[in-house]
Amino acid sequence: MAFEMRPGSFSLFKNDKKEKETQPDWKGSIKLPNGEEFWFDAWTKQGAKGEFISGKIGNPKTANGGQSNQPAAFKIFPTSNPMDEEGPF
């Protein structure tokens, strides 16, 4: 049985092909709570309070695991509140 990522989770793997400092230390994917999957890159950094991980969501994953040419565009939180709209009264 193939691994199936659950909504709201991500998987990262060490980037063993890193050649430049600007390339991510970790690569993987993230599955949003709504089921959309995106590529995910992460860097291990040093901060004032110690080591931390910084990340970036990339392009959407395609059905065959490839990368879409469409940039990441998704809504996690609604931009308007339905209660702000005029009601029927």
Sign of CA dihedral 34, 35, 41, 45: positive
Share of the chain above pLDDT 90, in %: 58
Asked if residue 40 lies in contact with residue 55, where contact means CB atoms within 8 angstroms, the answer is yes
| Per-residue pLDDT reduced to its tens digit, 19-59 | 999 999 999 999 999 999 999 999 999 999 999 999 999 98
- The mean of the pLDDT values for the chain is 80
pLDDT grade for 74, boundaries at 50, 70 and 90: very low
Asked if residue 33 lies in contact with residue 8, where contact means CB atoms within 8 angstroms, the answer is yes
State the Cα angle at 30 between 80 and 57, rounded to 5°: 70
